[in-house]
Amino acid sequence: MSNETGQAYLKVEHLGKTFPGATEAVFEHVNFQIERGEFVCIIGHSGCGKTTILQALAGLETASEGHVFMDGREVNAPGLERGVVFQGHALMPWLTVRQNIAFAVRSRWPDWPASQVQQQVLHHVKLVGLEHAIDKKPSQLSGGMKQRVGIARAFAIEPKMLLLDEPFGALDALTRGTIQDELLRICAQTRQTVFMITHDVDEALLLADKILLMSNGPRARIAEVVVNTLPRDRTRAGLHHDPQYYPLRNHLVDFLVDRAKGLSGGRAPAVPVEVRPGLRSLMEAHTAVHTARPAPVDTDQDDSPASAAA
Ligand SMILES: Nc1ncnc2c1ncn2[C@@H]1O[C@H](COP(=O)(O)OP(=O)(O)OP(=O)(O)O)[C@@H](O)[C@H]1O
Ligand SMILES: [Mg+2]
């Protein structure tokens, strides 16, 4: 869904970053778009520049070239219309869960009366299932709970765009799964627009509508946009039973294992190709059903290798 001017909600144009003193760009010609309500993941090897791109979207890092436009306006400074969740939850240790979130809500809406702030805090604390811990300080919470507070705080300011940098990277698999389910549910409810960095291909397939595949640096680029054609009502438990799951998953893994390195040094296309590897398997299955002739009835029970191969 583009806005009235035909522009995507978030538009990244020819973004590039060369750090001072470096001879080559970490990444260059990074081009992609995110529509309103879309959940987009980015995957790429360590050091290719994912966090730097996210920081540029947040307005926390200045790019060396290119532009970021959000809802028609150029991004060049941090703003409360973009909520960021980092891997280290970045909570204020001397404040309780309630106070941490209230602080963000008051910064966003300074004119709100205290009761409205509290209502907003409570709603979002409930959303991540932390009512029982609302008056605890971060030191009294587990890693997963702290990360939930970070997510609740980001949602509580109702950002136009949520930026997540490997938010579950430090969590054990069980906790990570539970919070992924929560995020999936909250995003379905709120139609939140999200840009998320992950190293986990299954996490990307569960959460994302589109997955950006980034080539290795130097001069990394977004090489491909993989459209996640798995049904939107997918669940973690049912994901791997879908016929599209393995072709999609294999495509992502093959990119990371085989192709990302060969596309380093600016060898990836400046405008990424959009691919739908999940649908290929469905089309092949469809074609096989419609072109298969009925097998001849085997009356003489010949099971020689030649007839088996026919
Ligand atoms: N402030 C900085 N000064 C110089 N180089 C930097 C700076 N920040 C990042 N880099 C370099 O830029 C490259 C990209 O860093 P970035 O953190 O964006 O990578 P990443 O893709 O997020 O990696 P990871 O998956 O490990 O988090 C790295 O080679 C890093 O060393
Ligand atoms: Mg990073």
Instruction: Give per-residue pLDDT as tens, 81-95.
Output: 888 887 766 899 999
Which stretch of 68-72, 148-152, 263-267, 301-305 has the lowest confidence by average pLDDT? 301-305
**Minimum CA distance residue for ligand 1 atom 6:** 19
Token pair for 276: 């739908």
**Minimum CA distance residue for ligand 1 atom 25:** 46
Q: Enter the DSSP assignment of 215.
A: P
**Ligand 1 atom nearest to CA at 44:** 21
Token pair for 33: 């778009």
**Minimum CA distance residue for ligand 1 atom 10:** 19
Whether 52 lines ligand 1, by a CB cut-off of 6 Å, is: yes
Cα–Cα distance measured from residue 87 to residue 178, given in angstroms and rounded to the nearest whole number: 17
Q: Enter the DSSP assignment of 296.
A: P
Residue 261 has pLDDT above 70, yes or no: yes
Alpha-helix runs per DSSP H in the chain: 50-58, 97-108, 114-127, 143-156, 173-190, 201-207, 245-254, 277-291, 305-309
Which stretch of 35-49, 143-157, 209-223 has the lowest confidence by average pLDDT? 143-157
- Tell me the CA–centroid distance for residue 129 and ligand 2, in Å: 28
The residue to mutate among 45, 48, 195, 199, having the most atoms of ligand 1 within 8 angstroms of its beta carbon, is 48
Cα distances from 218 to residues 15, 22, 60, 262, in angstroms, run: 14, 10, 22, 11
The residue to mutate among 41, 52, 86, 195, having the most atoms of ligand 1 within 8 angstroms of its beta carbon, is 52
> How confident is the model at residue 173, as a pLDDT?
85
Whether 46 lines ligand 1, by a CB cut-off of 6 Å, is: yes
> How confident is the model at residue 289, as a pLDDT?
60
